[in-house]
Amino acid sequence: MIEDTLDRLSFMQLEPERALIIGPYAERLQLPKTCDVLCRDWIDEEQPIDGAPFDLIVSMGQLDTVNDLPGALLHARNALAPDGIFIAQMLGAGTLATLRRILLESDGERPAARIHPQIDNRAATGLLQRALFSKQVVDQYPLSVSYQSLEKLISDLRAQGLTNQLSDPPPPLTRTSLERALHAFEAAKDERGRVTERFEILTLTGWR
């Protein structure tokens, strides 16, 4: 996400005077030394943003877990200076499709909501329009990662803070459900003995 954002900024030849970078690795997004950069590991993006106005706001890996995405986008727009740019990198529809299927199989006849809702390109474009951005660009690129075990997949998600995102946590897997999940993971392995999971990364760009 950091590398992609830097590529986009260099292509636009943007030289902001004030910028807000939001995300767990915000300080790694290097901007020109002439720019006054405010980095935050996390902020409540469903509330008005302090310190406005900004010429650039970048949100990395945050917006896919908010309850009120339209409201969060509107707050971001309101925090921009005239002609300011907002860039958000987030996980979109199609992410963790294999894990979603495995968890549905493991729950049997009573599936629980274990992965938060996801949006696609079309929905993201519509949300930017609703938030009154003057121009909107949304694109998507996949990141494929292969795993030898379900435990490693879950461990990676936990290390990235991508578990326990739902406001109402689902019931824990029973021993029988866990056995079903492990069996489904084994059945999904390819000839290398690995399961490939995809992360669909959406990039939302909007201008005030």
Q: What is the mean pLDDT of residues 104-109?
A: 83
The pairing of beta strand 195-207 with beta strand 80-91: antiparallel
Q: What is the mean pLDDT of residues 97-102?
A: 93
Helices (H), the chain: 2-12, 69-78, 97-107, 121-130, 150-159, 175-187
Which value, in Å, is the radius of gyration of the alpha carbons in the chain? 19
Strand partners for 59: 22, 88
pLDDT of residue 14: 82
- What CATH number did the domain enclosing 156 receive? 3.40.50.150
Q: How many domains does the chain have?
A: 1
pLDDT of residue 5: 93
Among 24-38, 50-64, 182-196, which is the least confidently predicted range? 24-38
Q: Is this prediction's pTM over 0.85?
A: yes
Give Cβ neighbours of residue 200 (< 8 Å, ≥ 6 apart). Answer: 91, 92, 93, 94, 95, 140, 141, 142, 143
The 8-class DSSP code of residue 55 comes to E
Question: If pLDDT is split at 50, 70 and 90, which confidence band does 27 have?
Answer: confident
Domain residue limits at 54? 2-207
In b/e form, how buried is each residue of 39-69, taking b as 16+ CB within 10 angstroms?
bbeebebeeebeebebbbbbbbbbbbbbeeb
Judged against a pLDDT cut of 80, whether residue 128 lies above it is answered with yes
